Amino acid sequence: MACRHRRSYTGGPGRLSRRLPVLHETVTSPARSPRIVVVGSSNTDMVVRVSSLPRPGETVIGGTFFTAHGGKGANQAVAAARAGGTVALIACLGDDSLGDETLAALAAEGVDVGGVRRAAGTRSGVALIFVDQRGENSIAVAPGANALLAPEHVAPGAALLSPRDVLLTQLETPLESVLAAVRAASDADAQVILNPAPARDLPDELLALVSVLTPNEAEAVRLAGVSVDGEHGLEDAAMALLRRGARAVVITLGAAGAYVATAEHRETIPGHRVEARDTTGAGDVFNGALAVALAERMPLRDAVHFANAAAAISVTRDGAQPASPRRAEILALLEGDQLPLDDAGRATQSFQSTEHAERHA
Ligand code: ADP
């Protein structure tokens, strides 16, 4: 029964203060770090840059090759870790060398990989990507071990979450495992963020357990079954998704930012103006940062503002995972100020001094 888990959104729409006092408190708070469990996919992207995309039967010579760690689950876990979260990933890799490399890279990012399974005799997920000079691409994905992520692998980790924590998941792993994770997190009273990507139909039971649903425009259209055309279209889509049970809907709008809707409140939180270079993975960075902000109990609008900033920085850089900004960079953009960073990308001075002075004057 879906309503058993229904509770109001914990953060609620707050007033977006220019200087984000909630953020300042959490930046400087000695309390334990927020905990985020990401359940999702991990792939290795194998990319060949070519002058033109090969047609069927054609061989295109002269390209350059590189690999990158990818998959929505891994991308979002890395984005959340860099944004300051304490992050664990529950995923499934093969027992091949790509799996070894991925695991080492995630651990180097500070992601807890204790919940990453290795499936014997199975290949890790791979995306084969051609990119031409105009940035057009053509992609084939072999999910490999991602397809073996089963409910029994995800539920124990999700059940360890406390009400302070956040489950973040997407749709690149089997729907039964997404549902199992969401049920367990919801039973534990943790907040649940579902990034419904790639788009597919979803049962109402799942949507009714979601605290914050984060489609992009195309995914919102598909899920809500309405056309998104201007603010009314967005509102129609968001309302339809709220009616289906999500407690809050955040539709990402590319450079325009994100549209936020709850039962009580609707508005567009504008994006940050940057010179975009590569928007790959912008949604993943947005979701990772949003999870961190919500785990820190930022009001939803402030959390979306924080996520917009993280994602805006990421589009100024190449790739997905490597483009994820560190927390101090996000804070610096929010402040319109460049903070000095240490080697770990942490701010060597906090915003507390001025903020405290203002608040306690
Ligand atoms: P997806 O990558 O899933 O398709 P979007 O394109 O909506 O999602 O982008 C996700 C978020 O990334 C946006 O809500 C916004 O915060 C940020 N973003 C994307 N493109 C830009 C851009 N050109 N300039 C600034 N921010 C951007």
Longest dimension (CA), the chain: 72
Residue 138: strand pairing partners: 130
pLDDT attached to residue 278: 85
The verdict on residue 270 lying in a domain is: yes
The verdict on residue 221 lying in a domain is: yes
- Full domain range(s) for residue 159: 10-41+72-96+110-118+147-337
Position 8 pLDDT exceeds 90: no
What residues are annotated to the active site?
A: 284
Position 359 pLDDT exceeds 80: no
Between residues 242 and 22, the one the model is more confident about: 242
Q: Whose CA is nearest to atom 19 of ligand 1?
A: 254
| Nearest one of 147, 2, 161, 172 to 74, comparing CA atoms | 172
Helices then strands (H, E): number in the chain?
A: 12, 13
Q: Whose CA is nearest to atom 22 of ligand 1?
A: 255
The verdict on residue 360 lying in a domain is: no
The total number of residues written for the chain in this structure: 361
Report residue 168 CA to chain centroid gap.
7
Position 17 pLDDT exceeds 90: no
Between residues 139 and 110, the one the model is more confident about: 110
Name every protein residue with a CB atom under 6 angstroms from any ligand 1 atom: 216, 252-255, 257-258, 271-272, 274, 276, 279, 282-283, 286, 308, 311-312, 315
Q: Whose CA is nearest to atom 10 of ligand 1?
A: 283
Q: Which residues contact 271 (CB under 8 A, 6 or more apart)?
A: 253, 254, 255, 256, 257, 258, 308, 311, 312
Q: Which residues contact 63 (CB under 8 A, 6 or more apart)?
A: 48, 49, 50, 51, 130
Q: Whose CA is nearest to atom 23 of ligand 1?
A: 255
Position 52 pLDDT exceeds 90: yes
Average pLDDT (208-217) is: 97
The verdict on residue 328 lying in a domain is: yes
The verdict on residue 60 lying in a domain is: no
Distance 196 CA to ligand 1 centre (A): 15
Q: Which residues contact 268 (CB under 8 A, 6 or more apart)?
A: 231, 234, 253, 256, 257, 258, 259, 260
The verdict on residue 138 lying in a domain is: no
pLDDT attached to residue 230: 65
Q: What angle do CA 250, 252, 253 make, to 5 degrees?
A: 135
Average pLDDT (248-273) is: 97
Tell me the CATH number at 178.
3.40.1190.20
pLDDT attached to residue 277: 85
Give the model confidence (pLDDT) of 76-131 as tens digits.
Answer: 999 999 999 999 999 999 999 999 999 999 999 999 999 999 999 999 999 999 98
Residue 47, amino acid: V
Whose structure tokens read 């992601």? 111
Distance 312 CA to ligand 1 centre (A): 7
How many CA atoms does the CB half-sphere of 93 hold within 13 Å? 27
Percent of the chain with pLDDT over 90: 73
pLDDT attached to residue 228: 66
Whose structure tokens read 């609707």? 266
Distance 268 CA to ligand 1 centre (A): 13
Q: Which of 195, 315, 330 is the best mutation target for the ligand 1 pocket, counting ligand atoms within 8 Å of the beta carbon and taking the most?
A: 315
Q: pLDDT band for position 34 (50/70/90)?
A: low
pLDDT attached to residue 226: 83
pLDDT attached to residue 178: 97
Q: Which of 216, 221, 267 is the best mutation target for the ligand 1 pocket, counting ligand atoms within 8 Å of the beta carbon and taking the most?
A: 216
Instruction: Write out the two tokens for 304.
Output: 């979306």
Distance 256 CA to ligand 1 centre (A): 8
The verdict on residue 103 lying in a domain is: no
The verdict on residue 190 lying in a domain is: yes
pLDDT attached to residue 33: 63
Q: Which of 279, 302, 324 is the best mutation target for the ligand 1 pocket, counting ligand atoms within 8 Å of the beta carbon and taking the most?
A: 279
The three state secondary structure string of 216-249 is EHHHHHHHHCCCCCHHHHHHHHHHHHHHCCCCEE
Distance 145 CA to ligand 1 centre (A): 29
pLDDT attached to residue 136: 83
Please name the helix (run of DSSP H) or strand (run of DSSP E) that holds residue 167, with its range, or none: strand 166-169
Q: What angle do CA 190, 36, 31 make, to 5 degrees?
A: 90
How many CA atoms does the CB half-sphere of 273 hold within 13 Å? 1
For ligand 1, what atom is nearest to the CA of residue 308?
16
Please name the helix (run of DSSP H) or strand (run of DSSP E) that holds residue 142, with its range, or none: strand 137-142
Give the model confidence (pLDDT) of 142-191 as tens digits.
Answer: 999 999 999 999 978 877 788 989 999 999 999 999 999 999 999 999 99
Position 27 pLDDT exceeds 50: no
Position 227 pLDDT exceeds 90: no
Q: Whose CA is nearest to atom 3 of ligand 1?
A: 283
- In the chain, the number of structural domains is 1
Q: pLDDT band for position 350 (50/70/90)?
A: very low
Distance 228 CA to ligand 1 centre (A): 16
C-alpha–C-alpha distance, residues 5 and 49, integer Å: 48
Percent of the chain with pLDDT over 70: 83
Between residues 118 and 358, the one the model is more confident about: 118
